[in-house]
Structure 1
Amino acid sequence: MTDIVSGASSIFGAVAGPVAAGQVTKGHIRWARRHASGTALLESLLSVKRLLDHRDVVTDVERWKMAIEGAITTIEQEQSGLPRQWAHLERSVRAAISEATGLGFADRMSDDQCWRVVGFDRLWLDFAAEYLRLVIATIGLWREEPSFRRANQVTIPSFDRWLQESGRYVPGLGLWPDESSLKPQRRERSILP
């Protein structure tokens, strides 16, 4: 309920000035919705990112489960307002979390199941944290972009594509393959910023 209230107040606040001036346009309303959606996504993903950054301190599975549930639920709720090319976002966030902790589907598991499957892998925790850093930065750019057209052109690579493009993992070649074996795998143009 609080999310609905804060989202509504965010939209209201962003549109209130132009309404008072009698200058509300579709662009203002679109931007306000995008801003509210981006804010909700950033807050939920930042909670997971903080856990990834403090993995040595925070090993309580219940805290991980709550943060992951919040992030996945928010992505599901906001999916209809996101750019079409972000359709993979939920799947990619789940994959990153699954590789790092085994808890990618914590929102669909009981507490006992979470305790049984949890396993922290230091290398994949670093990969997940770096990927979420990219996702969070990109969502921030999308949220603040004043042009609707340019906002819908903002891209986030899938987790698998990001791993390949950044040279961290390539299916069939493993972790950190050498540069010469990556050349045939790369396309003409990288999608990474």
Structure 2
Amino acid sequence: MNSSKRELSSEQQAELLGILKSRFEKNMNRHKGVEWAKVQEKLEANSEKIWSLNEMEMTGGEPDIVVPIAIGNGKKTDEYVFCDCSAESPKGRRSICYDHHALNARKEHKPENSAVEMAADIGITILTEEQYRELQQLGNFDTKTSSWVITPEPIRKLGGALFCDRRYNTVFLYHNGAESYYAARGFRGWLKV
């Protein structure tokens, strides 16, 4: 992988497309009415998006096409939305605080990264609470882990950050100090193609 160009080799691209197609076909409930051939055509025309999807995959996100209203803005377009659909918060994106400011605020035992920075590096957007709740309508996610969600600025200015999980068949929203990090908390992201 050449990260400076954000492109995959043709072999890596073919492997990723095979993984995505297989996941797409196994989870048709997430994207009724969407045809894989059209998705693949869009992907093959955008190497940077394929690179981002590969990063989502490599960090354990198991990206798949979803058709929730909040992520797709409820409009019919020729764009497709991929979202992290791993059963638990992506393993390669855990043990991180919320954002760069929180990372810098820690005096000791700093995590390696933050959710906001990792999302930007990968080229994806962290889910909002509304998007997270809509994703949960497509399956049972984060029953043992939790995921940071976009935090409104007034809360963030006071040092807090928000995260969600699913327990007791219910989606919960919580708060924590933005500088906190846990082995069972990561983040989920989405990418429009």
TM-score normalised to structure 1 length: 0.28
Greater gyration radius:
1
Structure with bigger helix share is: 1
With CA pairs under 8 Å and 6+ residues apart, which has the higher RCO, 1 or 2? 2
TM-score normalised to structure 2 length: 0.28
Structure with bigger strand share is: 2
